[in-house]
Structure 1
């Protein structure tokens, strides 16, 4: 088993360091990308994108490479550092925003908060404030998030399907009046011809996307990409085979959710239960 390399002396940028290690290990093995794919599994194009730094891949892919190269835990540790790097997160999110602006359809599963495109300014403000934003930066981020909703309007709007966990609708804002306004806005949007909202009840139990906020975007060229986000980072997934696996998981979650009509009725029940007066 090869010894672990000392990180010092090589790239100190996490994503570049990860890609560099992948290239070095394959060179030491003396195998092509196609040979690597045949022996370790997965698609050769994915390994090529990972070695070029275009994508990080997923933990399952990295674990398979660790096993193939005989470096237990090394690549996975480097991958975790690259995923958690805030600079790379901002760049990946910037790429996602460009793709969102040009998308013709979107599918999303939200386990913990309402989808950004369906948030009121009050909901966005409280959520971003809880995340640590203040002052002018908070105001700018709220304005940017609300501005994104324009893709759902106009003559040729984005087609959106949003599956939200029941827990999202049972986690109110601090101000009851603002929470009622959010529920009313969600109910109104769910009645639009281009927006479909489905509620996944807690009684549905565990599923393949339990802790993962997942978004799929389809562009005018028909290509679909995914944005997968956890509580600490996000990843833009463009490799076809990986996107297809995520889509299969999404479809299974959709099968567990209430129908659109049942979901609107659920939202209306939440409205009936919501207090009318703002907190003092």
Structure 2
């Protein structure tokens, strides 16, 4: 068997590869970070962080670098791959994100926020900003979160069911137009054959998932794993007994929830209550 040809020694991890390409292109031009800053127009410290892998920057700066270096869309393509790379997420989410991408069906329970797979750009941005993110880091994480929606786009998508506590529909965004967009998106998603949305109204009492966002992933090998999350921690659960216990709790909650048709009507009523014009 012929020896395998090593094409490049550069990293195969999208984020590291992006940083390596940036450094290599600048060094080939014989430029310092300050010289690059003067010619391209962004702060030298931003380019330094991008080359060290501390930030990915935004699409505008990456496009400007592509134009400056004459690399076509190479850097933008690498940037898009890095933005969608699950290793961007904190360590506790990495294995979950990989399993989510492989799941053949998904079941979800939401305590106070729409499921990530059904969040609009506006919702993601305000939620992350409320958590303290800003600037380049905010935009980077918005891009990464929004890309999760692609899991439910296309012709061959896994069936997705979510049960949302009524609190999800009561905790509105400050931006009323963005909130209308989020509610409208949920109502439209509820019409899709591969998405089932249930609303769990107030007054149904306590249950086994009251304070815990939960996602079940059914994998191609027949296993089901669960991911639970509260205000302080997230946990990937793969032990069969614990997963089955959570599934029984989920089934009990589904029995209390509105049907998909009733739930869509509930969402539309909530949408009617939101002003069409931004508050002043």
TM-score bracket for this pair, using the shorter chain length = 0.5 to 0.7
How many angstroms apart in 1 are the aligned matches of 2:159 and 2:168? Answer: 22
1:194-214 CA deviation, whole Å, 9 max, x = no partner?
000000011111111100001
Residue equivalent to 2:176: 176
- TM-score (ref. length: structure 1): 0.67
Residue equivalent to 1:224: 224
How many angstroms apart in 2 are the aligned matches of 1:132 and 1:104? Answer: 34
| Structure 2 unmatched runs, 5+ | 1-88
Residue equivalent to 2:262: 262
How many angstroms apart in 2 are the aligned matches of 1:216 and 1:166? Answer: 20
How many angstroms apart in 2 are the aligned matches of 1:166 and 1:262? Answer: 13
For residues 168-207 of structure 1, what are the structure 2 equivalents within 5 Å? 168-207=168-207
Are the equivalent residues in 2 in contact too, given 1:209–1:249 (CA < 8 A)?
A: yes
TM-fit CA distance, 1:277:
0.6
Residue equivalent to 2:98: 98
1:149-203 CA deviation, whole Å, 9 max, x = no partner?
1111112102110000101101111011111111001100111010000000111
For residues 1-280 of structure 1, what are the structure 2 equivalents within 5 Å? 90-280=90-280
Partner SS state of residue 274, structure 1: coil
TM-fit CA distance, 1:145:
1.1
Please tell me the root mean square deviation across aligned C-alpha atoms, in Å.
Answer: 1.1
How many angstroms apart in 2 are the aligned matches of 1:221 and 1:154? Answer: 23
Partner SS state of residue 154, structure 1: coil
Residue equivalent to 2:78: none
TM-fit CA distance, 1:92:
2.4
- TM-score (ref. length: structure 2): 0.67
How many angstroms apart in 1 are the aligned matches of 2:129 and 2:239? Answer: 34
Are the equivalent residues in 2 in contact too, given 1:174–1:279 (CA < 8 A)?
A: no
How many angstroms apart in 1 are the aligned matches of 2:165 and 2:243? Answer: 22
How many angstroms apart in 2 are the aligned matches of 1:198 and 1:114? Answer: 12
TM-fit CA distance, 1:90:
2.7
Number of equivalences: 192
TM-fit CA distance, 1:279:
2.6
1:135-158 CA deviation, whole Å, 9 max, x = no partner?
111111111111111111112102
1:25-72 CA deviation, whole Å, 9 max, x = no partner?
xxxxxxxxxxxxxxxxxxxxxxxxxxxxxxxxxxxxxxxxxxxxxxxx
How many angstroms apart in 2 are the aligned matches of 1:112 and 1:119? Answer: 12
How many angstroms apart in 2 are the aligned matches of 1:150 and 1:194? Answer: 14
How many angstroms apart in 2 are the aligned matches of 1:144 and 1:219? Answer: 23
Q: Which has the higher contact order (CA 8 A, sep 6+)?
A: 1
| Structure 1 unmatched runs, 5+ | 1-88
1:108-147 CA deviation, whole Å, 9 max, x = no partner?
0001111000100000011111111111111111111111
